[in-house]
């Protein structure tokens, strides 16, 4: 019993940080991952950039699709005036998105390319913050921090995604 608990704990520790789902009902009849292809996987690196692998979907006829990767980041910014007074800390959110319209290449096969987003820079987070006026200095206390991402592949004529990956 103790070994089972250790195996279960080890499995949880190496489990992916994203939840993935392919829903056949949200695609053309006969849609499937082409031979040698699999459901995309998304990873987050140490810089908090998000990268999702590509895939090939067969059996879709001439149906176009849209692939979108959207990641949300936050950072904590405070405003300080020339006298040293600090306005309460504000958390700023910013979004990074990568997307594209996909068209079947041949034989009813749709190549979904890899997509990635880059975490915002310190300057981008500071630009998103609002201080009382121009005499205040913005200071980044923490961030950027990835708060979540969503990757979807949605076929034309369908309202819900065929592939959906949500993390972390």
What confidence tier does 127 reach under pLDDT thresholds 50, 70, 90?
Answer: confident
What confidence tier does 128 reach under pLDDT thresholds 50, 70, 90?
Answer: confident
Going from N- to C-terminal start, the domains of the chain cover: 16-167
Q: Is the pLDDT of residue 154 over 70?
A: yes
What confidence tier does 93 reach under pLDDT thresholds 50, 70, 90?
Answer: confident
What confidence tier does 88 reach under pLDDT thresholds 50, 70, 90?
Answer: confident
CA gap 154, 1 in Å, rounded: 44
CA gap 118, 91 in Å, rounded: 19
Average pLDDT over residues 103-115: 89
CA gap 148, 94 in Å, rounded: 11
Q: Is the pLDDT of residue 4 over 50?
A: no
CA gap 162, 148 in Å, rounded: 20
Would you state the structure tokens that stand for residue 111, as one six-digit string?
A: 């190549």
pLDDT of residue 13: 37
* Residue 142 contacts residue 92 (beta carbons within 8 Å): no
CA gap 30, 24 in Å, rounded: 8
Q: Which among 142, 124, 131, 13 is positioned nearest to 71, based on CA atoms?
A: 124
Q: Quick: pLDDT tens for 13-63.
A: 334 467 889 999 999 999 999 999 999 999 999 999 999 999 999 999 999
pLDDT of residue 106: 76
Cis peptide before 144 (omega within 30 of 0): yes
pLDDT of residue 17: 60
CA gap 92, 142 in Å, rounded: 10
What confidence tier does 107 reach under pLDDT thresholds 50, 70, 90?
Answer: confident
* Residue 143 contacts residue 72 (beta carbons within 8 Å): no
Would you state the structure tokens that stand for residue 4, as one six-digit string?
A: 């089972």
Contacts of 8 (CB under 8 A, 6+ apart): none
């Amino acid at each position: 019993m103790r070994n089972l608990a250790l195996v279960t704990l080890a499995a949880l520790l190496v489990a992916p940080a994203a939840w993935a789902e392919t829903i056949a009902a949200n695609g053309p009849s006969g849609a499937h991952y082409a031979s040698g292809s699999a459901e995309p996987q998304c990873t987050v690196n140490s810089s908090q950039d998000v990268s999702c692998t590509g895939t090939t979907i067969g059996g879709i006829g001439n149906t176009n699709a849209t692939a979108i990767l959207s990641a949300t980041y936050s950072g904590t910014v405070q405003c300080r005036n020339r006298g040293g007074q600090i306005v309460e800390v504000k958390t700023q959110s910013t979004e990074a998105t990568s997307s594209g319209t996909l068209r079947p290449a041949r034989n009813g096969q749709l190549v979904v390319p890899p997509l990635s987003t880059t975490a915002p820079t310190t300057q981008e987070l500071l630009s998103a913050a609002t201080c009382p006026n121009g005499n205040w200095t913005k200071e980044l206390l923490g961030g950027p921090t990835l708060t979540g991402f969503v990757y979807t592949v949605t076929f034309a004529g369908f309202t819900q995604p065929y592939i959906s990956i949500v993390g972390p």
